[in-house]
């Protein structure tokens, strides 16, 4: 069934995809230890996967305070921009398209990973029930301090500057990381946002930070190069809300005015079940969005073909399958077997389990 729409081109804003199989953002913790610069191996890794219709890079911190795990890359310093340039050049040389995921972790961090060992920042001083990787093992996340009202515009501007940096580095666009319990998600949810100013309380107020970031990034580089990822029903990183359906109904309706290149949603629990709580339907949220929609989470080949065929999704993002199958698109097209990734090398390390997975042709006996 290679004629499936999944394998046909698409245009999302200014992004031209050769097919609708998207590489989901995958944290791999291989940036240079001293300065969070992505190295030559990252260029090779992404170039190997350039047959994806669109690559969304691993989440990359927009500023030092936005970091929450050891060895994740940044997109705020000149050296990081230079490192990413080599990545985008390598992907473009293979005919691929690539956007960078812009990330601020908020409270999902540890003092060991923060400038001067300071506390991470968040909407409110409420610790997440979550863990992070500091480079010396997994540790409970640190209790954050609440952002002062006056600090918020600087963080919004850091997203816009990171987006400009991304364009300078040769990216085709950016994806704002609004999912998985990180800073934007922390502002959205009443479990983590107890603010009493303009950024807390009502749905309008809790969505304010998200909308300001989207406004700033789209003004900086164009809405047609800006995507957004959300995970409305995911409990990732200890996030929760008293009424996620109402929250994301408000958020998605409000997003329509920006004309984003796409909305990318984790359907169900991140890296987990596609089931959502009783009374909630991802399909109802998806239906509210008026632009291109990238679906994600646990899709098989058959599910992806069907979802794109019947219009429930315009593209499908695959995460873990792209780790061990650099030529995932060709394998899905051919209905070939998929290789299994080695979990021991998902996070951190060097080439092993990163750039040494063979294509089908390289695997086939001579
Ligand atoms: C796995 C490990 C560390 C970070 C996310 C950026 O969940 C991540 C992440 C995933 O969005």
What is the chain's Cα-based Rg? 19
As a whole-number percent, the residues of the chain with pLDDT over 70 amount to 99
Domain limits at 331?
5-363
Cα–Cα distance for residue pair 203/300, rounded to 1 Å:
35
Average pLDDT over residues 250-260: 98
The pLDDT of residue 278 is 86
pTM over 0.85: yes
Q: Which atom of ligand 1 is nearest to the CA of 270?
A: 7
Number of domains in the chain: 1
Q: Does the active-site annotation cover 182?
A: yes
Q: What is the CATH number of the domain that holds 330?
A: 3.20.20.70
Beta strand 121-122 with 145-146 is parallel
The pLDDT of residue 339 is 97
* pLDDT bucket at 287, cuts 50 / 70 / 90: very high
Interval between CA 73 and ligand 1 midpoint (Å): 12
* Long-range Cβ pairs for the range 37-42 (8 Å, 24+): 37/73, 37/74, 37/77, 37/79, 37/80, 37/82, 37/83, 38/73, 38/80, 38/83, 38/84, 38/86, 38/87, 39/83, 40/86, 41/350, 41/351, 41/354, 41/355, 42/73, 42/83, 42/87
Task: Find the catalytic residue in 45, 46, 182, 357.
Answer: 182
* pLDDT bucket at 205, cuts 50 / 70 / 90: very high
Average pLDDT over residues 314-330: 98
Average pLDDT over residues 46-69: 98
Interval between CA 26 and ligand 1 midpoint (Å): 7
Query: Residue 1 above 60 pLDDT?
Result: no
Q: What is the mean pLDDT of the chain?
A: 97
The pLDDT of residue 279 is 87
Is pLDDT larger for residue 125 or for residue 281?
A: 125
Q: Output the six-digit token pair for 238.
A: 């200890």
Average pLDDT over residues 120-136: 96
The pLDDT of residue 363 is 87
- Is there an atom of ligand 1 within 6 Å of 27 CB? yes
Residue 9 in contact with residue 19, Cβ under 8 Å?
Answer: yes
């Amino acid at each position: 069934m290679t004629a499936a729409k999944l394998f046909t081109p698409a245009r999302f804003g200014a992004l031209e995809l050769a097919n609708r199989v998207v590489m989901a953002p995958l944290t791999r913790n291989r940036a240079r230890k001293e300065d969070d610069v992505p190295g030559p191996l990252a260029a090779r890794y992404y170039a190997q996967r350039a047959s994806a219709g669109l690559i969304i890079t691993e989440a990359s911190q927009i500023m030092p305070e936005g970091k929450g795990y050891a060895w994740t890359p940044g997109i705020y310093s000149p050296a990081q921009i230079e490192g990413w340039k080599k990545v985008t050049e390598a992907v473009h040389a293979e005919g691929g398209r690539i956007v960078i995921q812009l990330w601020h972790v908020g409270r999902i961090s540890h003092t060991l990973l923060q400038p001067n060992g300071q506390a991470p920042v968040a909407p409110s001083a409420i610790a997440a029930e979550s863990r992070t990787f500091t480079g010396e093992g997994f540790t409970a996340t640190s209790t954050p301090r609440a952002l002062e009202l006056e600090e918020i515009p600087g963080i919004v501007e850091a997203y816009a500057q990171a987006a400009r940096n991304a364009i300078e580095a040769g990216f085709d666009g950016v994806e704002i990381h609004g999912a998985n319990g990180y800073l934007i998600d922390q502002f959205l949810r009443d479990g983590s946002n107890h603010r009493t100013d303009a950024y807390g309380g009502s749905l309008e107020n809790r969505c304010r930070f998200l909308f300001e970031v989207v406004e700033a990034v789209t003004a900086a580089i164009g809405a047609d190069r800006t995507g957004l990822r959300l995970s409305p029903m995911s409990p990732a990183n200890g996030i929760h809300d008293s009424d996620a359906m109402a929250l994301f109904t408000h958020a998605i309706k409000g997003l329509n005015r920006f004309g984003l290149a796409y909305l990318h949603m984790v359907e169900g629990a991140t890296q987990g079940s596609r089931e959502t709580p009783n009374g909630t339907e991802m399909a109802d949220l998806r239906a509210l969005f008026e632009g291109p929609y990238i679906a994600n989470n646990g899709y098989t080949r058959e599910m992806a073909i069907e979802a794109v065929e019947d219009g429930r999704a315009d593209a499908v993002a695959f995460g873990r399958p792209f780790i061990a199958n650099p030529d995932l698109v060709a394998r899905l097209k051919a209905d070939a077997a998929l290789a299994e990734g080695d979990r021991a090398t998902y996070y951190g390390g060097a080439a092993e389990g990163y750039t040494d997975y063979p294509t089908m042709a390289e695997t086939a006996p001579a």
